[in-house]
Amino acid sequence: MSTNFEVSIVMSVYDGAADLAVTMDSTLSQEGEDFEFIVVDDGSTDKTGEILDDYARRDERVRVIHQKNSGLTSALVRGCDAARGEFIARQDAGDISLPGRLKSQVAVLRDREDCVFVSCWTDFVGPNGEFLYTARGTGAASSPINMLSPQAEWVDCPTSHPSVMFRAKQYRLCGGYRQDFYFGQDWDLWYRLSSLGTFCVLQKRLCVCKITSGSISESHKAQQKRFGELSRKALLARQAGLSDQRVLEEARQLLSVRKRSNPKRDRAAANYFVGKCLLDNGNLAASDYLLSAIKENPLHLRAWIGLARSFFQ
């Protein structure tokens, strides 16, 4: 087997057996690029490990790393450390890379030496594949942009974490994913990559992300926001010529008081979000999700309002 790859695809998965096959098949069916697929099984307790090992036996491009459950950031660090490709593409379990994704993104990075990382449009769908919305970036691949304005505000950003491909050399040069960011590890990385070059968004739908009951955590929302603020604070420190180590210490302290998830509340939040998107799209399935949200959390006022609206569609 060759050890020289153009692309290393890196994915972490925890208890993702139900939707794993569709992700694996969509990724392995990518054409036009020589790639390896590194999958970190983050201590799964279902049949995820068995499924991955079976794929590895049947396809030499698949490399499986089994580890104790350590969280997404730790798994991504380990997967990217093992990457042997010139470019690293992210993939998430349960999501789909549409045909041509790798080929299109590699073409941008080949054509534009100043472009460090590239995203694409992402379609978001519900648990049963219902279309919710398309996240569209404004940066055209024909004209790479600086991700940050002089005031360090976002000009553009990736449409989803698994929609991104970046140069492995620059990933390592900027320090890669950092363990201190349990949440918001992607924003922290985008900020640091953007200091090394430009960023592009291919104006094509090449990624499909599924929103499930486990996709949205009300319990973690405040912490996710805080980690995002810390990643920006670290950026501003670096731009001022200062070390960001104090910010990393804040991130470690924030992690030490991480709150436990509330499954019922999280399921209610996810069902409401899907129902609201479907309601805005005029999809009659909205009422089913809004009802599910109310069953999980009878005091979810916005779900009640949405359900009332659905009766008039």
Residue 84 · residue 5 · CB < 8 Å: yes
pLDDT at 145 over 80: no
b/e map 3-38, b = 16+ CB within 10 Å: eebbbbbbbbbbbbbebbebbbebbbebeebebbbb
Alpha carbons 33 and 7: distance in angstroms, whole number:
7
In the predicted model, what is the mean pLDDT of residues 265-284? 94
Cα torsion for 298, 299, 300, 304, to the nearest 10°? 70
Whether 33 and 175 map to the same domain: the answer is yes
pLDDT at 255: 80
Cα torsion for 262, 185, 70, 212, to the nearest 10°? 40
Instruction: Tell me the β-bridge partners of 21.
Output: none
Whether 156 and 281 map to the same domain: the answer is no
Residue 62 · residue 55 · CB < 8 Å: yes
Whether 247 and 117 map to the same domain: the answer is no
pLDDT at 69: 95
CA nearest to 298, candidates 271, 278, 276, 260: 271
Whether 62 and 40 map to the same domain: the answer is yes
Domain that holds residue 226: 218-256
pTM of the full structure: 0.93
The overall average pLDDT reported for the chain is 91
In the predicted model, what is the mean pLDDT of residues 296-301? 95
pLDDT at 214 over 80: no
The string of DSSP letters for 239-285 reads HTT---HHHHHHHHHHHHTPPPP-HHHHHHHHHHHHHHHHHHTT-TT
pLDDT at 259 over 70: no
41 backbone dihedrals φ, ψ, rounded to 5°? -85, 105
Q: Which range is least confidently modeled, 71-80, 219-228, 295-304?
A: 219-228
Q: Tokens 């604070």 correspond to what residue?
A: 233
pLDDT at 150 over 70: no
Alpha carbons 6 and 9: distance in angstroms, whole number:
10
Alpha carbons 57 and 151: distance in angstroms, whole number:
51
Whether 268 and 244 map to the same domain: the answer is no
pLDDT at 215: 77
Where residue 256 falls among pLDDT bands split at 50, 70, 90? confident
Whether 181 and 290 map to the same domain: the answer is no
Alpha carbons 177 and 120: distance in angstroms, whole number:
21
186 backbone dihedrals φ, ψ, rounded to 5°? -70, -45
Name the residue with higher pLDDT: 140 or 290: 290
CA nearest to 35, candidates 104, 83, 98: 83
pLDDT at 151 over 60: no
Supply the CATH number for residue 163's domain.
3.90.550.10
Alpha carbons 37 and 10: distance in angstroms, whole number:
6
Whether 69 and 132 map to the same domain: the answer is yes
Q: Total domain count for the chain?
A: 3
Q: How far is CA 305 from CA 97, 126, 256, 308, in A?
A: 35, 20, 37, 5
Chain segment 67-104, per-residue pLDDT in tens: 999 999 999 999 999 999 999 999 999 999 999 999 99
Whether 187 and 246 map to the same domain: the answer is no
In the predicted model, what is the mean pLDDT of residues 122-148? 84
Whether 231 and 297 map to the same domain: the answer is no
